[in-house]
A and B are shown apart, each in its own frame.
Chain A
Amino acid sequence: MRLTTLPAAVLAGAVLLGLAGPQAGGPALGFTLEEFTFDDPAKQTEFRDLIDQLRCLVCQNESLSASQADLAQDLRREVYEMMRAGKSKKEVVDFLVARYGDFVLYSPPIKPSTYVLWFGPLALGLLGAVVVLRTIRNKAKDRDTDLSEAERLRLAGLLAQGGETDPRPKGERS
């Protein structure tokens, strides 16, 4: 599967520039978040938090805030404009989920198709605990029934002679 995306070139360019360091000069190719400013600092924080929680679909292990993909910049702008227009966080998230699916969310929603994801580990842990407890209890029961009736009598007989046995090794006996 080879998906070609505009951002690959941009990203490669940005990486090269990064390696060359500031001495190389020239304008930076990369995107920054500087153009997205709000008058209200609380809104600014909300915006940064929100794009941190959203996944870039091009570089799939990067958040929308970190990605240098071209599409990520478009989506940041979209989110920014929606928030400037007074849309709530939920409205922005719903907008993106309607178009790109739950995959844009780093934290998947709890719904029937994700029950296994959310509760599977807990269920496995509980199952493990049940298995361990049952094993321990079975072991304990086994110990009680280790000796048959004949063995028990023999043991009692041996113990009764206990006074005659000397715990010291043979050579030390007087």
Chain B
Amino acid sequence: MAKSLRFLLPLGLFVALVALLFFGLGTDPRKVPSPLVGKPVPAFTLPTLQDPSRTVSDADLRGKVSLVNVWFSTCVSCRAEHRQLMAIAKESGVQIVGLNWKDDKADALQMLRQFGNPYHVVAFDQDGRVGIDWGVYGAPETFVIDRKGTIRYKQIGPIDQTVWQQTLRPIVDQLKAES
């Protein structure tokens, strides 16, 4: 190396370090990548929210592209994304399965009555055990499932229009195009 340029080496290393730390500032430590992405959905059987005598299971997630949305009624961000879920249900025709997580049944039903029901079916996970199998640690969380029942993406935090248009919708469209 030309000796005259050698003094630039520490400066270069410093700039690289600053770039790395700056990148770190932009990432959200609350978003913990899920090890379940790329794996089949965890097996589960739960009663539905509306009718305890009916059940919903992982089998219902096969054969169709689905969104599995984890929510509970007192969760502010879940309420915030509810309208977007209604719009998605209307516009895209993707199957949206709700996982009502550690909630009060009456409150949950009340919320769906008040704001509408975007879900094909809502599984009622009162004690949160199915949530643990899905690696849920805070609502809202949304999983994108392909036709074979494989988890392809996990959205942590509320879905707004930007998230839907720029992230989730392209994935859903791509999965629908897959045979």
Contacts and interface: CB of A to CB of B under 8 A. Distances in A.
Nearest to B139: A4
A76 B156 CA distance: 23
Contact of A57 (B32, B35, B75): B32
A37 B33 CA distance: 33
B119 to A, nearest CB: 19
Contacts, number: 69
B77 A60 contact: no
B74 A6 contact: yes
Contact of B35 (A3, A6, A101): A101
Nearest to B77: A4
Contacts of B14: none
A100 B30 contact: no
Interface in B90-146: 102, 127-129, 132-135, 137-140
Interface in A82-99: 97-99
A3 B30 contact: yes
Q: Is the interface of B mostly helix, strand, loop or mixed?
A: loop
Contacts of A4: 75-78, 138-140
A6 B102 contact: yes
A107 B75 CA distance: 32
A62 interface: no
A97 B78 CA distance: 26
A78 B75 CA distance: 24
A135 B74 CA distance: 64
A3 B128 contact: no
Interface stretch (A41-49, A67-75, A161-169): A67-75
A10 to B, nearest CB: 12
A1 B32 contact: no
A32 interface: no
A60 B32 CA distance: 10
Given A3-B157, A99-B36, A60 B30 contact: yes
Contacts of A75: 132
Contact of B138 (A58, A78, A101, A102): A58
A3 B138 contact: yes
A100 B35 contact: yes
B157 A1 contact: yes
